[in-house]
Amino acid sequence: MCQSEARRGPELRAAKWLHFPQLALRRRLGQLSCMSKPALKLRSWPLAVLYYLLPLGALRPLSRVGWRPVSRVALYKSVPTRLLSRAWGRLNQVELPHWLRRPVYSLYIWTFGVNMKEAAVEDLHHYRNLSEFFRRKLKPQARPVCGLHSVISPSDGKILNFGQVKNCEVEQVKGVTYSLESFLGPRTPTEDLPFPPAVRHRSFRSQLVTREGNELYHCVIYLAPGDYHCFHSPTDWTVAHRRHFPGSLMSVNPGMARWIKELFCHNERVVLTGDWKHGFFSLTAVGATNVGSIRIYFDRDLHTNSPRYSKGSYNDFSFVTHANKEGIPMRKGEHLGEFNLGSTIVLIFEAPKDFNFSLQAGQKIRFGEALGSL
């Protein structure tokens, strides 16, 4: 047997095993084409999964009668990640028996490299459920806040990207971008927003830059499952507005961010906007699979990962009131919120042209360490 025949052996055997009558297949595909989109998607999904799991060429007879598999990205987007995340959240709240806590948490610590010596409470039996363990607090001296730099890291994590925002596009990872306007949402000309009303014929980026001579900067920090899950204020600023985008809960790990364009715009996120001493400042907490719960400590009205939502919708809430015309003041390093598992923080802010990041893409960083300064 020649080498080419030997290589094709598994493919030929699979094709023979899956020998379909083409006339019956054409008739069945014709019935599928008459179905509604949701029903068609449901019926085609198992075939698409088999297409990517079975050996090469196993489902080639289907392509001869007009069937085409959905892309891997479309297949992944069809997974009910919001439902799975709510189920995971319920599981996290289940109190573990005292004897089971140490083996369960020890497995998690070993898998994700958690450093429990930094935890305020090192005794694993103290954490009644997985949720409490994920949201564990650190010892006060574990994360000293850098006082010399104007912007610090709000969390532990990995730097995915940083730099100036150009052409209204922001890089989620190198070479893969998303729209600044899609991410933050459209400008609303109301008094509650921390920036002036939109002006026609100006780019979205230039509308956010409120002072002459300033530039717009961004920084993306990925929190892995083993990282400290709370996030803090990265600088002294005032939070004036919150915008909540219900959405998907796809994984935001770097590999997935390279795979899916505008991933951060698809996922559920909470955008906090306000001002710091150099102008516009925003911090966005992006949800992910099993991270449907995003909590902002001073925002009791925020409820994430609701069972129902309208695609593309968002909810606005202003912290500026008649009694409080400034908003919520935050000090650098102050507790701001938390995730239930790993996720992503995106900073977008205005600063003078001589602002410099002291970072490298891909580096590990801890809460309190410097991101950059003037």
Domain-wise residue ranges, the chain: 70-135, 151-186+206-373
Q: What is the mean pLDDT of each run of 10 residues along the chain (374 residues)?
A: 51 47 48 46 49 50 51 63 74 89 93 91 92 87 85 93 85 73 76 48 77 91 88 95 86 71 82 94 86 82 76 85 86 91 87 91 92 87
Q: What gap in Å lies between CA 156 and CA 342, rounded to an integer?
A: 10
Q: Which of 232, 241, 266, 278 is catalytic?
A: 232
d(CA 77, CA 250): 7
- 156 catalytic, yes or no? yes
Task: Specify whether 335 is catalytic.
Answer: no
Distances (CA, A) of 241 to 184, 188, 210, 289, 321: 12, 12, 17, 26, 11
User: Beta partners for 166?
Assistant: 169
- 346 and 166 in contact (C-beta within 8 Å)? no
* Confidence (pLDDT) at 135: 84
Q: What is the pLDDT of residue 46?
A: 57
pLDDT given for residue 158 in this prediction: 92
The DSSP call for residue 102 is H
Q: Are 240 and 318 in contact (CB under 8 A)?
A: yes
DSSP state for residue 247 in the 8-state scheme: -
- How far, rounded to the nearest angstrom, does the alpha carbon of residue 108 sit from its chain's CA centroid? 21
Asked if 287 and 269 touch (Cβ cutoff 8 Å), the reply is yes
pLDDT of residue 173: 62
Q: Is 303 a catalytic residue?
A: no
Question: Of 44, 149, 155, 156, which is the active-site residue?
Answer: 156
Give the residue carrying structure tokens 């989109």: 37
Q: What is the pLDDT of residue 43?
A: 46
Show Cβ contacts of residue 352 under 8 Å, excluding neighbours closer than 6 positions: 213, 214, 215, 278, 374
> 200-209 long-range contacts, Cβ below 8 Å, gap at least 24?
203/168, 204/168, 204/180, 205/165, 205/166, 205/167, 205/168, 205/180, 208/280, 208/348, 208/350, 209/279, 209/280, 209/350
- Token pair belonging to 293: 């719960």
85, 131, 248, 343: which one is catalytic? 343
